[in-house]
Chain A
Amino acid sequence: MHTIKIKLCISILLIIPICLCGCWNKTDLSEKSIISGVGIDRNEDEIHLTLQTVISEEITAGEEGIKSGSETKIKDTIFTSGKNIFDAARNFSLVSGRKGMWSHCEVIILGSDCAKQGIDQVLDYLSRDHEIRFRMWVLVSKTSAEEILKSKVPFESNTAFGISDLLESYKNTSYVYAVDLLHLGQHVIDLNGTALIPAITIDNINKSLKLDGTAVIKDFKLIDWIDKIQTRGYLWINGKVKSGIVNVEMDGVKHGIEIIQSKTKIDVNFENNIPIINITVNVDSSLGDIENFTSYISLDYIESLEKYSSEVIKKEIESTIKKSKNIDTDFIGFSSIIYKKDPKRWKQIEEDWKSIFPELKVNINVNTNIYKTGLKS
């Protein structure tokens, strides 16, 4: 009995080292390079990748000393090219001598050329690779993606993380439709290749980056851009507006009204098998800015201001719908709204949807409620 125990102990001691040294995939941090952002550009049949890497100060400080660490210029953006994205991503090691680690990648920027040629190949690679996560922001740049990743963002040394900050703070203005890889994929599948992706450009005044409107994708290809007002119109319809300023002009005086909370309800009615969509938006807001210092606010004044404000929001929504009809693209997703509300009727009209959509009747009803006037009456 005693000898058996000793034998067992020895065999366990022999097995443990096998587990300790790790698996085949073991890598040291010095063999890997953590990628934070990816820009994809496209020539005729070549993919150009711009990979932004994280250079952790701990690594550089150890090698070159803390003093010089901040001053020595270490290249953190690397350009590679290949026949497809995977090829280009692997060619990263030809330049850097390390293998890229994609699991902490936060943004992916599609150059407008790449988006014009089609985003489906890009989406496939991104959702197939085992290192990439679905929680990754997707953007379309109005210039090439390379230029975007080369430029700087104010409060962040790593451009990709900075861009991710820009998107995460969309709540303050609601002028941006932030979309991650997962939701982009869902949007594309639900609407047969139609999607919206936020657009990014270089802001010449601040010499940094700026989110500017949204790109419209139809049949997996970039076809048009919508501006920030129309983007907010889309967000109103989807009930995703969190905060932001509505600019209202009443009797020649400009007002800034802050959105506190909004709720959207969509109903679908059918009239002779033709759908009519009723959108009701309820907005709670607060008065933040009047271009008149000596103004006195009465109840009547607020009531009429609420009406004007509702009118402005209604116009925002209408402009989005008008744009959507103009370019004949149902990026708002009315088709899936009708399907969700009444799947049986949708099946009947599905074939005629292309002829129904341009003449689709949408009733918009906005109720604004201003219940705060700030510190001044």
Chain B
Amino acid sequence: MKNNGKISMTQFNIILIVAIPSTSLLFVLSDVYENAKQDMWISLSLVAVYCISFSIILTKLAKMYEKKNLIQISESVLGLILGKFIGFIFLGFFIHINAVLIREFSDFLNGSLYYETPTWFFSLFILIPCIYILYTGIESIARIGQFVIGVFCISLLFILFFSFFDTDMSKLTPILANSPMSIFEGSLRLIVWVGEFIIILMFACFIEKKEKLTRSVIFSIIIMALLIIPISMCLVAVFGSTTEFLTYPFLSLTQYVSIGRNIRIDTFILIMWVSALFFKFSIFFYCSVQSAASLYKVKMKNFIIPIGIFTLVLSETIWDSGIILKEKILTQYSIVYTIIQIGLPIMLFIVAKLKKRFFKKNKERK
């Protein structure tokens, strides 16, 4: 295949489907349960609605500036100085989210399976292949996505199938027993997940034919919802009221499943988690390198290793432990991230719209 710096619409869909829900699948579901209880799946469908409405705004913005990425869009919307300033905020955000991802990845492996292996070891060894991929370019990332989604979905279906025998659907009742407010609060726990759709703006400029961009993004969100809602129902149907206390509910689900007497399927969650997080991390890594490159107007290759090492150091130094990280994700970070991920793009969109209308009027007058 020839490398022409373009990705197809299917590859773009796959990037969204694998990169966005994979972390919340493992981490955040028990927090949603804390608020919404057995109506967790309603909360998640609400989240899907948020995602659709937010991504419609993003795709409209992407269509307005077809060949530009997020940083270039903000420069051309807000002017050079303010645009650069916003661009730096986005760069900082991407690097920070990279550090969070890498730490979550190694904390999970360290905290649940390999107690003695230090976290930097995992971080380093996920970083090295990521750096290699970034050197090879956007097409290879997209093609890895095509491979990873297969692994991801097969292991997911495998786990769901075998846990199905332990489900007790009566644990999903009574529906809507708690106040609607609690369902809404539960859905707010996943607001970071909604904001991650900002990567649409970083990748939309690489798509070959983007006439049906909005439609395909909505399609991929529906696929995501169809993946995550059955999982949440399965979790509640197996664990019931204990879901709240589990750090990694999905890991506990795979550990609970047993086929015969001694056959365990823990391996599948490792395959799933490592491949999906590797992909997610390379996506966000790519975003941060690309935004740095377009801020300084230099080639991407210059930034790959420096930003990689910087993220590694950040991920090891900012948080003392995984508990602090999780607590901060749920409190401080979710507010800051929401402002950056959701607030800023919406602001850009409004300014861009106003600008367009204003210029049109000016032209008509002339």
Which residues of A177-214 have CB atoms within 8 Å of chain B's CB atoms? 182, 185-186, 189-190
Whether, in the assembled complex, A340 has its beta carbon less than 8 Å from a beta carbon of chain B, the answer is yes
- B254 CB, nearest partner CB in chain A, Å: 10
- B239 CB, nearest partner CB in chain A, Å: 7
- Binary per-residue interface labels of chain B (21-65) against chain A in the complex, 1 for a CB within 8 Å, 0 otherwise: 000000000000000000000000000000000000000000000
* Docked CA distance A104–B266 (Å): 13
Which residues of B232-253 have CB atoms within 8 Å of chain A's CB atoms? 238-242, 245, 252
> A106: nearest residue on chain B (CB-CB)?
B261
- A255 CB, nearest partner CB in chain B, Å: 34
Cross-chain contact A24 with B118 (CB below 8 angstroms): yes
* Docked CA distance A185–B243 (Å): 10
With A185-B242, A186-B239, A189-B241: A130-B256 Cβ-Cβ less than 8 Å = no
* Docked CA distance A135–B121 (Å): 32
* Docked CA distance A182–B258 (Å): 14
Whether, in the assembled complex, B174 has its beta carbon less than 8 Å from a beta carbon of chain A, the answer is yes
> A183: nearest residue on chain B (CB-CB)?
B240
Best-surrounded residue of A130, A339, A341 (most CB of chain B within 10 A): A130
- B1 CB, nearest partner CB in chain A, Å: 19
- A185: chain B residues within 8 A (beta carbon): 242
Among B109-117, B193-201, B214-222, which stretch is in contact with chain A? B109-117
* Docked CA distance A134–B252 (Å): 8
- A186: chain B residues within 8 A (beta carbon): 239-242
Which residues of A1-41 have CB atoms within 8 Å of chain B's CB atoms? 15, 23-25
Which residues of B80-99 have CB atoms within 8 Å of chain A's CB atoms? none
Among candidates B117, B239, B241, B262, residue contacting A25 with C-beta atoms closer than 8 Å: B117
> B38: nearest residue on chain A (CB-CB)?
A340
Among candidates B113, B115, B240, residue contacting A190 with C-beta atoms closer than 8 Å: B240
Whether, in the assembled complex, B170 has its beta carbon less than 8 Å from a beta carbon of chain A, the answer is yes
- B241: chain A residues within 8 A (beta carbon): 186, 189-190
How many B residues are at the interface, by size bracket?
Answer: 20 to 34
Cross-chain contact A104 with B262 (CB below 8 angstroms): yes
- B240: chain A residues within 8 A (beta carbon): 186, 189-190
- B122 CB, nearest partner CB in chain A, Å: 9
- Binary per-residue interface labels of chain B (170-188) against chain A in the complex, 1 for a CB within 8 Å, 0 otherwise: 1001100100000000000
Which residues of A327-367 have CB atoms within 8 Å of chain B's CB atoms? 339-344
Whether, in the assembled complex, B255 has its beta carbon less than 8 Å from a beta carbon of chain A, the answer is yes
* Docked CA distance A134–B241 (Å): 14
Among candidates A104, A135, A340, residue contacting B174 with C-beta atoms closer than 8 Å: A340
Among candidates A104, A130, A339, residue contacting B115 with C-beta atoms closer than 8 Å: A130
Cross-chain contact B116 with A25 (CB below 8 angstroms): yes
Best-surrounded residue of B113, B121, B174 (most CB of chain A within 10 A): B174
Cross-chain contact B262 with A339 (CB below 8 angstroms): no
* Docked CA distance A343–B37 (Å): 13
Cross-chain contact A135 with B256 (CB below 8 angstroms): yes
* Docked CA distance A94–B252 (Å): 30
* Docked CA distance A341–B173 (Å): 8
* Docked CA distance A339–B177 (Å): 9
- B273 CB, nearest partner CB in chain A, Å: 15
> A341: nearest residue on chain B (CB-CB)?
B174
Among candidates B117, B177, B239, B258, residue contacting A23 with C-beta atoms closer than 8 Å: B117
Whether, in the assembled complex, A242 has its beta carbon less than 8 Å from a beta carbon of chain B, the answer is no
**Majority DSSP secondary structure for residues of A touching B:** helix
Cross-chain contact B177 with A25 (CB below 8 angstroms): no
- B238: chain A residues within 8 A (beta carbon): 182
* Docked CA distance A303–B255 (Å): 49
Whether, in the assembled complex, A304 has its beta carbon less than 8 Å from a beta carbon of chain B, the answer is no
- A133: chain B residues within 8 A (beta carbon): 255-256, 258
> B115: nearest residue on chain A (CB-CB)?
A25
- Binary per-residue interface labels of chain B (100-124) against chain A in the complex, 1 for a CB within 8 Å, 0 otherwise: 0000000000011111111001000
Among candidates A104, A134, A340, residue contacting B255 with C-beta atoms closer than 8 Å: A134
> B239: nearest residue on chain A (CB-CB)?
A182
Among candidates B111, B173, B262, residue contacting A340 with C-beta atoms closer than 8 Å: B173
> B118: nearest residue on chain A (CB-CB)?
A24
Cross-chain contact A24 with B255 (CB below 8 angstroms): no
- A39 CB, nearest partner CB in chain B, Å: 21
- Binary per-residue interface labels of chain A (111-144) against chain B in the complex, 1 for a CB within 8 Å, 0 otherwise: 0000000000000000100100111000000000
Cross-chain contact A182 with B256 (CB below 8 angstroms): yes
Cross-chain contact B173 with A24 (CB below 8 angstroms): no
Cross-chain contact A135 with B258 (CB below 8 angstroms): yes
- A248 CB, nearest partner CB in chain B, Å: 31
- B65 CB, nearest partner CB in chain A, Å: 38
- B242: chain A residues within 8 A (beta carbon): 127, 182, 185-186, 189
Cross-chain contact B112 with A130 (CB below 8 angstroms): yes
- A155 CB, nearest partner CB in chain B, Å: 15
* Docked CA distance A220–B362 (Å): 76
> A190: nearest residue on chain B (CB-CB)?
B241
Cross-chain contact A343 with B111 (CB below 8 angstroms): no
> A184: nearest residue on chain B (CB-CB)?
B242
- A342: chain B residues within 8 A (beta carbon): 174
- A343: chain B residues within 8 A (beta carbon): 174, 177
- B114: chain A residues within 8 A (beta carbon): 23-25
* Docked CA distance A135–B117 (Å): 27
* Docked CA distance A15–B125 (Å): 10
* Docked CA distance A135–B118 (Å): 29
* Docked CA distance A185–B246 (Å): 12
- B123 CB, nearest partner CB in chain A, Å: 14
- B266 CB, nearest partner CB in chain A, Å: 9
- Binary per-residue interface labels of chain A (259-283) against chain B in the complex, 1 for a CB within 8 Å, 0 otherwise: 0000000000000000000000000
- A35 CB, nearest partner CB in chain B, Å: 14
* Docked CA distance A339–B174 (Å): 8
- B118: chain A residues within 8 A (beta carbon): 24
- A189: chain B residues within 8 A (beta carbon): 240-242
* Docked CA distance A190–B243 (Å): 12
Cross-chain contact B113 with A130 (CB below 8 angstroms): yes
Q: What are 18 A-B pairs with beta-carbon distances under 8 A?
A: A15-B128, A23-B114, A23-B117, A24-B118, A25-B114, A25-B115, A25-B116, A130-B113, A133-B255, A133-B258, A134-B256, A135-B258, A182-B239, A182-B256, A186-B240, A186-B241, A190-B241, A340-B170
- Residue numbers of B with Cβ under 8 A of A are 111-118, 121, 128, 170, 173-174, 177, 238-242, 245, 252, 255-256, 258, 262
A-B interface, 5 closest residue pairs, ranked by CB to CB distance from nearest: A343-B177, A24-B116, A24-B117, A189-B241, A23-B117
If A130-B115, A186-B239, A186-B242 are given as contacts, then 10 extra A-B residue pairs at C-beta distance below 8 Å, sorted by A number, are A23-B117, A135-B256, A182-B239, A185-B242, A186-B240, A189-B241, A339-B174, A341-B174, A343-B174, A343-B177
